[in-house]
Amino acid sequence: MSDDGPVKLLDLTRLVSRTGQAFTGVDRVEHAYLTHLPEFGPLFGLLRTNLGYLLLDGDGCRDLARRIAAQDWGRRDLLSRLRRRDAPLRARAESDMRRIALDRCTHAGLRRMLRRHLPRGVQYFNVGNTRPARGFWTALDRCGAVSTVMIHDTIPIDHPEVQTPQSVTRARTFLDTAAARADVILCNSKATEADVLRLAAPHRPRTVVAHLGVSVPEAGTPPQGAWSGAPYFVTLGTIEPRKNHALLLDIWPEIDDAHLLICGSRGWQNAEVFARLDAAPDRVHELPGMDDAAVFGLIRDAAGFLFPSFYEGYGLPPVEAAALGTPVLCNTLPIYREVLGDIPIYASVSDRYLWINKINQMARDHAAGQRRAPAFSPPGWAAHFKTVLSSI
């Protein structure tokens, strides 16, 4: 860890609250900040629980990172046992954090706790879409903190038809609060920045664009199944309307002899797609709950990676697939032109016949040993943090 540079305070609420669940794209970003921020100065972690706030010092942040990597969680403490509604793994993780915390406080005591341990001008980062509790921003302001909040996308606001009412309200409140209170809004793309500025009016927040870093995924041994030895395609993401799994289910009977592997957990408002999956369509396999190494092993060996999503703020899976050298077929979204350029094969999701033709061609190329994927070096985290930290 470097001792140079301003002290940084990273909100770790999301990572701990999602203990034991497969990482989403937002989780990956918060984890990357936990991993990389110590390279740029002393790091503290802030964690909000139902019982108040916990403050971790540098050693505590490193211990959290180690426990996440090893999924090494201790026993539940007395406080967690009194809250029986909490998920067991989350309760164990919060218990561990209470044991290693530098300090803790009630929600009302946050300002005093921060002033006891952190200098004025501490740089606060919220990159996990974590909604602060009432009084949080006042406490930060009175400590002279400089706050940076990342907005990953504005999809719930712009496209409420594919969201739950609760997620729409949360997104609107989060954006409005960030625009009014944060010193910097961090955007993962120019496309997201344009959406933020459009929706933040009449506020004029200061925005910084920094593409997310993508480490080349570590592919493990892929699981075996009916697809083994045959061409197969992978799509990755929560099974919810925005990801447009329905298109792939519609066209798969017209795909020649290839299998479709759907990696991701079931989400929300997608009963029709769930029913179709429950009917076990031919050559379609739902594979939830796999670890990252297994998923990336499947992607690495696939004939192609398919991503017919209607909307994305950044969308890590196609970028990760391209980093593995796997051909990518995706919708014609501006974000992929911005980040991936000419690497993917682009096809509008309104043209199902083009999707059928492209997938069948990719399967033939794979069977003939002619899988073609342009060389791609993904954006790195070093460039991301250089942009972010030089802009604060």
Query: Can the peptide bond before residue 202 be classed as cis, meaning omega within 30 degrees of 0?
Result: yes
Q: Which two tokens stand for residue 112?
A: 């005093």
Using CA atoms, how far apart are residues 352 and 94, in angstroms rounded to an integer? 47
| Total domains, the chain | 2
Residue 159 contacts residue 171 (beta carbons within 8 Å): no
224 assigned to some structural domain: no
Query: Does residue 1 sit within a domain?
Result: no
71 plus 198 within the same structural domain: yes
Task: Read off the pLDDT band of 1 (50, 70, 90).
Answer: very low
Q: Do 201 and 271 reside in the same domain of the chain?
A: no
**249 and 210 in a common domain:** no
| Token couple for 135 | 């009084």
On whether both 255 and 205 belong to a single domain, the answer is: no
pLDDT band at 373 (very low <50, low <70, confident <90, very high): confident
pTM above 0.85, yes or no: yes
Query: What is the domain range of residue 363?
Result: 232-367
Determine, yes or no, domain membership for 302. Answer: yes
The CATH number of residue 255's host domain is 3.40.50.2000
pLDDT digit string (tens) for 177-230? 999 999 999 999 999 999 999 999 888 999 999 999 988 888 999 999 999 999
Please name which of 247, 88, 267, 239 lies closest in space to residue 167, comparing C-alpha atoms.
267
> Is there a single domain that holds both residue 49 and residue 182?
yes
One domain for residues 361 and 387: no
- 387 shares a domain with 245: no
The mean pLDDT of the chain is 93
User: Residue 20 is part of a domain; what is its CATH number?
Assistant: 3.40.50
- Asked whether the predicted pLDDT for residue 366 surpasses 60, the reply is yes
Percent residues over pLDDT 70 in the chain: 99
Q: Is residue 13 part of a domain?
A: yes
Residue 235: enclosing H or E segment and its boundaries? strand 232-236
Angle at CA of residue 338, ends 337 and 344, nearest 5° = 35
**pLDDT at position 4 over 70:** no
pLDDT tens across 74-108, in order?
999 888 877 767 788 999 999 999 999 999 999 99
Instruction: Classify residue 243: in a domain, yes or no.
Output: yes
Any domain includes 3: no
Q: How far apart are the first and last CA of the chain?
A: 20
Residues 94 and 186 in one domain: yes
Q: Are residues 44 and 178 in the same domain?
A: yes
